[in-house]
């Protein structure tokens, strides 16, 4: 044991010796924050937005609302005043989660460690960075008091929407100084720290309120608040200011989040060249607005990616009452039959082919009986016909044959991040996902079988034009060429003579898949024309059914409007096979079973 302790001391001393020469005096960090300007450009270099980094004068701890101080301590580091910068219990919990996940996924960082990362380190998630973070945290604890560390943290931490520090966050979201924040407002701001994009009150008010309730419960558990006061704050949640949406506000907000994650807080002026195509953005906005006028009470979302994963357009809705509510990237809904993309892809990868004969007949699984949308059964059909007509019984049979775990694993490997419940109804799209997730995962299926993360920024330059960061694609092979060619054949047939006929464009090949959830609550369409992938979702925010809604109706029409306005090279896809009548399908099935 003495030898181990000596070794640890030597390791720490060596780490400090390497780090200390490059570290500034912490006292200098209390100076007023410089206002850096970020200019956001579209792909054609036209101006999308121009924002000043929302910082502000450095506040002393006593100048910040005590409600915010307590709320942050409750959810971020309840043991802050009792540890030395490193929480053994919190780190142990995070290590267990990492081991179970087989990757570095959990944080476990103290406020001091978070401050060290924000001040001195990048955003990479590696064990080496974690070690440096620990050493820097110990150094900060040795140089500063606990109150000074907490004060610096609350002046530097990112709250989303370009707001760094408590003062900027209070003014950005509530139009008041940090000193005047009330309990419900403080809880909502503290809730942002876990994931500023996901819990942003101007983008997803419901998620922000739910997260604020978690914070209030944590304050009660920590002894910072009594249950009665917490209940009153829950009953009267904070009301953030409603900002104007702008031409492409949902897109710009996402792009700036990416900027922060890649380069941290801007200290100098930056020019951000994004991937947005202004012409397609206008077309998508107008198509959504015009088509939804036929469905009173319905909302919608559109995501447009090019074949390399660049986000060319993103529309999160049309509701002027909640213009920043981003349904495209934040709202999870059931994709219905659009999820059959992954069922058929997995089946084709497992050896099936479009010409295979399968049975469309009644099926019962533990009391559950999937039905086709028209209530009819067609008997022996090809996989191609079953996909084109979106037959539910066939999809469930294929899913059980292929394996629910294999289908879920494929969808995850392509970019679905939401939970996928491995039950038979997974084949019919009962697990909720976002439109952005579906677009990300579907892109590989309609291009070359390589998974690509969507990207929002082409490059970032400083005020003098020097490139600070540039997008670098890292595609990853998931499916082989044979599988992709067969799936494209199915997708082409679905548009030419299946449920996606409303997306046909004269003189252009369109691939597509429709999706409709139970009782018409959600309508989806995934379409690709060789240059652009379009995902459209339509439904109501309150989850009520929309009369007459199917994926092959308004969603397919919206996708057609957008694709028709986009330049499209020819798509190299095998021609669809001639449609089989019942007798021909039966004859082929008999030949497969008994031979010629």
pLDDT at 266: 78
CA distance linking residue 476 with residue 490, whole number of Å:
23
pLDDT at 229: 97
CATH topology (fold) of 56-243? Penicillin binding protein transpeptidase fold (1.10.3810)
pTM beyond 0.85: no
Cβ of 419: how many Cβ atoms within 10 Å? Answer: 11
Which one, of 396, 453, 386, 392, lies nearest residue 424 by Cα? 396
H-type alpha helices, 241-369: 249-263, 278-292, 340-349
Tallying the residues shown for the chain, one arrives at: 596
Q: What is the pLDDT along the chain (596 residues), one digit of tens a residue?
A: 555 545 555 555 555 555 544 555 655 565 545 567 888 999 999 989 877 655 667 899 999 999 999 999 999 999 999 998 887 776 666 555 545 544 333 346 899 999 888 887 665 656 666 777 888 888 899 989 999 999 999 998 989 877 889 998 998 889 899 999 999 999 999 999 998 988 988 778 889 999 999 999 999 999 999 999 999 999 999 998 765 556 788 899 889 888 888 887 777 889 999 999 999 999 999 999 999 999 999 999 999 999 999 999 999 998 766 666 889 999 999 999 999 999 999 999 999 999 999 999 999 999 999 999 899 999 999 999 999 999 999 999 999 999 999 999 999 999 999 999 999 999 999 999 999 999 999 999 999 999 999 999 999 999 889 999 999 999 999 999 999 999 999 999 999 999 999 999 999 999 999 999 999 999 999 999 999 999 999 999 999 999 999 999 999 999 999 999 998 665 555 554 544 444 444 444 444 444 43
Q: Please, what is the Cα angle at 195 between 191 and 201, to 5 degrees?
A: 60
Determine what percent of the chain falls in helix, strand and coil, rounding each to the nearest 5.
Answer: 45, 15, 40
Two domains, one topology: 56-243 and 278-590: no
pLDDT at 51: 74
pLDDT at 35: 60
Residue reference for tokens 């028709």: 564
CA torsion sign, 360 to 365 to 370 to 375?
A: positive
Which are the contacts of 239, defined by CB distance < 8 A and separation ≥ 6?
A: none
pLDDT at 583: 47
CA distance linking residue 351 with residue 344, whole number of Å:
11
Terminus-to-terminus CA distance in the chain, angstroms? 79
Q: In what order do the strands lie in the sheet with 311-315?
A: 311-315, 299-306, 532-539, 522-528, 511-516
CATH topology (fold) of 278-590? Beta-lactamase (3.40.710)
Residue 314: its H or E element: strand 311-315
What are the extents of the domains in the chain? Answer: 56-243, 278-590
For residues 451 and 414, the answer to whether their CB atoms sit within 8 Å is yes
CA distance linking residue 6 with residue 533, whole number of Å:
59
Which are the contacts of 170, defined by CB distance < 8 A and separation ≥ 6?
A: 65, 68, 176, 177, 178, 180, 181, 185, 189
CA distance linking residue 461 with residue 126, whole number of Å:
26
Tokens representing 18?
């390497």
Report, as residue numbers or ranges, the catalytic residues: 76, 337
Residue reference for tokens 């701890």: 61
For residues 494 and 388, the answer to whether their CB atoms sit within 8 Å is yes
For 581, the 3-state DSSP assignment is coil
């Amino acid at each position: 044991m003495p030898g181990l302790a000596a070794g640890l001391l030597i390791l720490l001393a060596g780490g400090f010796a390497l780090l200390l020469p490059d570290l500034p005096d912490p006292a200098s960090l209390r100076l007023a924050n410089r206002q850096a300007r970020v200019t956001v450009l579209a792909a054609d270099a036209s101006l999308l937005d121009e924002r000043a980094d929302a910082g502000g004068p450095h506040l002393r701890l006593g100048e910040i609302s005590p409600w915010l101080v307590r709320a942050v301590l409750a959810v971020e580091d309840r043991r802050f005043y009792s540890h030395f910068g490193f929480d053994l219990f919190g780190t142990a919990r995070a290590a267990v989660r990492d081991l179970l996940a087989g990757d570095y996924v959990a944080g476990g960082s103290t406020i001091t460690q978070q401050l060290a990362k924000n001040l001195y380190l990048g955003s990479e998630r590696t064990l080496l960075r974690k070690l440096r973070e620990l050493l820097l945290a110990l150094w900060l604890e040795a140089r500063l008091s606990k109150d000074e560390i907490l004060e610096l943290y609350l002046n530097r931490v990112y709250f989303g929407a370009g707001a760094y520090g408590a003062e900027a966050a209070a003014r950005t979201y509530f139009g008041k100084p940090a000193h005047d924040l009330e309990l419900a407002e403080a809880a909502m701001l503290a809730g942002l720290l876990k994931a500023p994009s996901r819990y942003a009150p101007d983008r997803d008010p419901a998620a922000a309120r739910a997260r604020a309730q978690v914070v209030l419960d944590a304050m009660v558990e920590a002894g910072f608040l009594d249950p009665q006061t917490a209940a009153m704050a829950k009953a009267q949640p904070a009301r953030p200011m409603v900002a104007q949406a702008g031409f492409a506000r949902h897109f710009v907000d996402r792009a700036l989040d990416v900027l922060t994650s890649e380069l941290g807080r801007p200290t100098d002026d930056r020019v951000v060249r994004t991937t947005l195509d202004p012409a397609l953005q206008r077309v998508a906005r107008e198509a959504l607005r015009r088509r939804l006028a036929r469905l009173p009470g319905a909302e919608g979302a559109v995501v447009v990616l090019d074949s390399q994963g660049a986000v060319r357009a993103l529309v999160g809705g049309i509701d002027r009452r909640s213009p920043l509510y981003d349904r495209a990237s934040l709202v999870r809904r059931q994709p219905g039959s659009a999820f059959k993309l992954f069922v058929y892809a997995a089946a084709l990868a497992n050896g099936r082919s479009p010409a295979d004969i399968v049975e469309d007949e009644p099926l019962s699984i533990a009391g559950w009986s999937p039905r086709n949308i028209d209530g009819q059964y067609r008997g022996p059909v090809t996989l191609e016909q079953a996909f084109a007509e979106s037959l539910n019984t066939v999809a469930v049979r294929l899913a059980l044959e292929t394996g629910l775990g294999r289908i879920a694993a494929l969808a995850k490997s392509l970019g679905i991040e939401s939970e996928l419940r491995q039950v038979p109804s997974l084949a019919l799209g009962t697990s909720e996902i976002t439109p952005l997730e579906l677009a990300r995962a579907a892109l590989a299926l309609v291009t070359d079988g390589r998974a690509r993360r969507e990207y929002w920024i082409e490059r970032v330059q400083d005020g003098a034009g020097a490139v600070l960061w540039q997008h670098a694609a890292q595609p990853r092979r998931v499916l082989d060429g044979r599988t992709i060619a067969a799936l494209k054949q199915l997708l082409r047939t679905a548009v030419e003579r299946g449920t996606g006929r409303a997306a046909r464009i004269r003189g252009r090949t369109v691939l597509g898949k429709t999706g409709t959830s139970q009782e018409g609550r959600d309508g989806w369409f995934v379409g690709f024309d060789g240059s652009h992938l379009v995902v459209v979702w339509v439904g109501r925010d309150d989850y009520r059914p929309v009369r007459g809604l199917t994926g092959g109706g308004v969603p397919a029409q919206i996708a057609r409007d957008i694709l028709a306005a986009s330049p499209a090279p020819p798509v190299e896809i095998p021609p669809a096979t001639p449609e089989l009548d019942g007798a021909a399908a039966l004859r082929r099935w008999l030949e497969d079973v008994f031979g010629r």
